[in-house]
Amino acid sequence: MNKRIVLITLWLLCIIGMILHFNYHIGEIFYGIDIIRPDANGQVPMSVFVIRTLFYHLPIIWILCIIYFEAKPVKLGLFILSVLYAFAHASHLMGEIKNESIDPSQLSVLSIVLLIAVILVIEHYKYWKSQGNN
């Protein structure tokens, strides 16, 4: 399979995994669980925008880079970003594991996304080291 298609698919799977992660949080509403943060005041904090940008918006831009650019510096940059992304997912999973009330759904989706992120690092490394268009 074309390496660029593989990378695009892996980035999309990571985005979908993070969307599922968020949906699992708000899905608890259906079971009568109060998911309101203790310090909630009706304002969406700027940190939400930052998280959405990092895990939803930027990967879309990285996909566009995969589609339109083949220069070695771009490939290296995407490889470095994929490593950072994998570390972020590992950190997120560790945070969930340390949580007193571990949600099995969150644990499984975050584990899957971390696995995908590690595969993404490996594939980006191969892409960076490859010669020509592939």
- Give the pLDDT confidence of 68-96 residue by residue, as tens digits: 999 999 999 999 999 999 999 999 999 98
For the entire predicted model, the pTM comes to: 0.89
Residue 38 lies in a domain: no
Residue 43 lies in a domain: no
Confidence band, pLDDT 50/70/90 cuts, at residue 134? low
Specify the number of domains making up the chain.
1
Residue 44 lies in a domain: no
CB 85 within 8 A of CB 15: no
pLDDT at 133 over 90: no
pLDDT at 37 over 80: no
Confidence band, pLDDT 50/70/90 cuts, at residue 39? confident
Residue 36 lies in a domain: no
pLDDT in tens, 47-75: 889 999 999 999 999 999 999 999 999 99
Residue 42 lies in a domain: no
Residue 80 lies in a domain: yes
Residue 82 lies in a domain: yes
Residue 110 lies in a domain: yes
pLDDT in tens, 3-29: 999 999 999 999 999 999 988 878 777
Q: Provide the residue range defining the domain that includes 8.
A: 3-31+49-129
